Amino acid sequence: MLRRLRAFATSLPLIVIVAAILRLGFFWDYASQNPHHALGVLPFLFEPGNIAASMVSGHGYASPFRVPSGPTAWMAPVYPLLLSAVFKIFGAYTFGAFVAATVLNIAFSTLTCVPILGAGRRVAGLGVAAGAAWLWAFFPNAILIPFECMWDASLAALLAAAILWATLELEKSRRMREWCGYGALWGLALMTNPTLISLLPFLLGWLAWRLRKHGQEWLKPAGIALGVMVLCCVPWTIRNYLAFDAFVPLRANLGVQLWCGNNDGARDLWLGEGHPIHDSGERARYLELGEIAYEHEKRNEALNYMLTHPRREVHLTWARFLTFWSGGTPTPLADFIRNGSLWFRYVLMFNLLTAVGALAGIIVLVARRSAYAFPLAIFPLVLPWAYYLTIVEPRYRQPVDPVVMLLTAIVFSRPLSRSDTQSRA
């Protein structure tokens, strides 16, 4: 009986089915409570939807702010291209397009259970892996984000988890085609969410170190993976150079993101102030200067503010840290007490407990001297800095969360035996 229960609890098909049902159920409830006309329009009135609409209307990859503004490199191309395919089939700004895009996001979020289980099994066994996948299946952010915003968050989470799994599987591989595939996976990830590049030197460096430790050649496979990744980004970079006569390898909005979070009017919780998608004055300035000059102007202003207001920067960075890990508020304790909604409190506590679980999981792996402590730790320790220094929205945590679920599951697992730990090292 115990064997059957274990097989039932660790069944990947079951976890995937439950995750899909939860996401589809919440989506059905959300769609039934909101006007279909509004759902067909409002979620797409941001950069990905605007670019997709521009493409299907014949104006190319352009105009991220609902006004004609010419070519753009504001976003990496993968997700807007997916939305443009949805618009082409179901019509731009229609309820059918909203349903199709949401189902696509739900598929990405549900399939993330697969690399979570694969990576977890490699690190700590099937039981821990299944526990992490179950946490992801019930994680409220992963349930809500697929239909609450038409952004790349769910796809980026899937790709980030796949990169971790591939990294762990490649540590002893000599097959060049697998290293080519690893480079292609990185290329797809960067063309979806360029922020993931902060993980690349650490993961590739860890792989090179592991190969060298096992007495295998490391320079050639690492070089091949890096080369394939660069080749995946070259067409987009060439397109950007032809469009702007400037070198834009991934995207052209870092300066604006930096300025939105670092200026005289910056607040602890960013609600869209100063962004061209919301602010008509900034949008007019963007149209006046052009995308590249506008980005450069905002980057210089932000850097100047950060250097001349160090105490304020420490405060803002701390507020963004709390906002990132709480799931959307810089005052989690006060909001937990003040807001009487049980659902709000559940979401807040799930975010906070898994954040603490991630830290505890890193400590556990380090204490066990696990070789996998490093590649898991860099996700929550390195990737969020792109947001601590700029702005934070709940969806920004999604690429980190698959690893957060795995680290949390490790904390609640039975200790690995000393022999198991040594064999993994």
Count of structural domains, the chain = 1
pLDDT band at 270 (very low <50, low <70, confident <90, very high): very high
- pLDDT the model gives residue 419: 34
CA–CA dist 71, 420 (Å, integer): 54
The DSSP secondary structure of 391-421, one letter per residue, reads ---GGGGTTTHHHHHHHHHHHTSPPPPHHHH
pLDDT band at 214 (very low <50, low <70, confident <90, very high): confident
Lowest mean pLDDT, pick from 1-5, 121-125, 357-361: 1-5
Supply the range of the domain harboring residue 80.
Answer: 2-424
- pLDDT the model gives residue 149: 87
Identify residue 311 by its one-letter amino acid code: R
pLDDT band at 1 (very low <50, low <70, confident <90, very high): low
Question: Which backbone phi and psi does 223 adopt, to 5 degrees?
Answer: -65, -40
End-to-end alpha-carbon separation of the chain, Å? 34
User: What is the token pair recorded at 41?
Assistant: 């329009």
pLDDT digits (tens, 9 = 90+) for 314-326: 999 999 999 999 9
Indicate if the pLDDT at residue 415 is higher than 60.
no
Indicate if the pLDDT at residue 68 is higher than 50.
yes
Is the distance from CB of 178 to CB of 170 less than 8 angstroms? yes
- pLDDT the model gives residue 171: 86
- pLDDT the model gives residue 416: 44
* CB neighbourhood size of 116 (10 A): 33
Judged by DSSP in three states, 71 sits in strand
Average pLDDT over residues 16-30: 97
